Structure 1
Amino acid sequence: MEEQDEFYVGYIEDSVGAETKKRLKSFVLFGVGVLVLGALLFGFFQEPASNSAFDFDSATKISGVYHEMPYPMLQVELAENTYKNIVLLGFGKFGPNAYLKDIRNQEGDLEGKHLTIEGNLIYYNGKTLLQIDDSQKVSLTGSKPITIISSQPIGEVSVEGEIVDPKCYFGVMKPGYGKIHRSCAALCIAGGIPPVLVAGDPNAVSDYFLLTDLKGNPIHKDILPYIGQPSVVKGVAEKLGEWYILHVDVSQIEQLDKESSIY
């Protein structure tokens, strides 16, 4: 007599047949195996996360000389004749100007004045940034202008790399570059966070360049079409402490047909 296949209807039958149980068990085990294998392969092919840091849950007071060359910074004296330029940022996807408005209204031009700012540090690979989330945490700690260390001219350079927003790249997001991060970076830079060129060329004069227009003014909206994709950027460079500044004509940026320029 020919054996008939089991036919199980849940709202009629009280129990599952032996053959159906066997098939269900095999299907569940196979599914679990695929999920585990997929997770292992996903983890294996992921690039290691950078050792960048964002002190989101702890505030730090930083004191230094305020300047805009061309973006808001504090020039902090670490030791005698040793300085560090800390880039200032605002909360979220915005620059710091909204949080500097009150003290500007009180004191006027802040260039060269000594400020103390309490905020959240972001740091990676020798670069430091400070997020401000409250205008009341910005105070004047010196009324007399202080001499600012001037920048040093470098000359014309051509750098292959990728334009990122430094807030995410240096600590808030991992990864903070590439196609997957392009829309986020565009919102940050459009909101006032300075654009930074991350050099992928090992022969570049520096790893990181703050980008300005040819006259040294901040650029935000004009740079948006070039964010998050491999490019060759030409311009005139200068050195300001541990940062380099690159004055560019955005219309001359050459986009490259490759997956990434950051390695």
Structure 2
Amino acid sequence: MTWRQTKDAPFYVGYLNAVPKPLLVFLSVFAVCFAGGMGLAALALSSTQNDPGSGGFQWGNRFEEAGLLELRPYPVFRVPADGTTPARTYMLSGQGKRGVFGPAKANKETPVNLRGVPVNRGDLTMIQIGKVEATEDGPTGFQPSDPVPLGRWKLSGEICDGKCYAGAMRPGRGLAHKACADLCLTGGIPPVFVSTGPVEGRTFFLMADKNGNLLGDEIKDLLALYIEVEGDVERLDDLMVFKADLATARILK
């Protein structure tokens, strides 16, 4: 390389308040191409992710109903039929990653007026409780129906925490959500089994152990995994309950 070639080539000097035009053009083209490439990479990566679903808090549709609180084995709110509207059973949660065992036990099978915010995803609705008050204007003579046994089933799917899967977080499932689901379930949020196949048209189930009791640490190793498990299914008004026999559980992938 001759001295003339070196002298004529563009060269940037940091303490000079100027950038040679050829370098300026190169950097501008590089910046545009880099930004465009990163945008295309982000689009390609996002297109491979599962649809997070349409779940979320229904802030514009506040919930207020009179009914009864029960433990089945997690707290649920039983609302009587009203005209052509059949009786309903709602799963419940507290603020954040907390359940509502305290209010449920304090007001068990006592008429209450319950206020809160629905968290809804498809057929799954959970009520985040805002306030529970004993009331004398509750449903007179309301006797909630007993669960209807639907037999023993082998279901494939995933164990999720009901609140996040319903829409408090999205997508609320999968390995990326495992740590959050663990915290929610430890805090008392009801676990939900999300099945790949329906039972009477429903694909989500409030979970209990095979005897209908609370689930404990035995489900932690199964969270966020695609599993197959057997158990008895019951219908509680419009809510399905899956009494899972975790001894039969196996990881499919």
Q: Deviations over 1:200-235 (max 9, x none)?
A: 135787311221112211113221111111000111
Correspondence for 2:94: 90
TM-score relative to the length of structure 1: 0.84
Question: Does 2:129 align with 1:141?
Answer: no
Question: Is the counterpart of residue 179 in structure 1 residue 183 in structure 2?
Answer: no
User: Which residue, out of 53, 63, 80, partners 1:77?
Assistant: 80
Percent of pairs identical after alignment?
29
The answer to whether structure 1 residue 162 and structure 2 residue 158 are counterparts is yes
Please say which of residues 246-255 and 49-58 is displaced more in the overlay. Answer: 49-58
Q: Which moved more, 1:219-228 or 1:164-173?
A: 219-228
Q: Which amino acid aligns with 2:64?
A: K
Partner of 1:261: none
Aligned-partner Cα distance in 2 for 1:56–1:224: 31
CA RMSD for the aligned pairs? 2.4
Q: CA deviation at 1:43?
A: 4.4
Superposition deviation, residue 123 in structure 1: 1.6
Q: Which has the higher strand share?
A: 2
User: 1:160–1:199: 8 Å Cα contact kept in structure 2?
Assistant: yes
Which deviations, in whole Å up to 9, do the C-alpha atoms of 1:30-62 show, x marking residues without a partner?
112213323433444444442223135874322
| C-alpha distance 226-43 of structure 1, shift in aligned 2 (>3 A) | closer
5+ long unaligned stretches in structure 1: 258-263
Structure 1 residues 14, 51: CA separation in 2 closer, same or farther (over 3 Å shift)?
A: closer
Q: Which moved more, 1:137-146 or 1:234-243?
A: 137-146
For 1:124 and 1:182, the matched residues in 2 are separated by 19
Give the letter aligned to residue 165 of structure 1: D
TM-score, normalized by length of structure 2? Answer: 0.87
- Tell whether the 8 Å contact from 1:189 to 1:221 is kept in structure 2 after alignment: no
Q: Does 1:10 align with 2:23?
A: no
- Supply the distance in 2 between the matched residues of 1:191 and 1:139 (Cα, whole angstroms): 23
Paired residues of 1:85 and 1:241 also in contact (CA < 8 A) = yes
Q: How many residues align?
A: 246
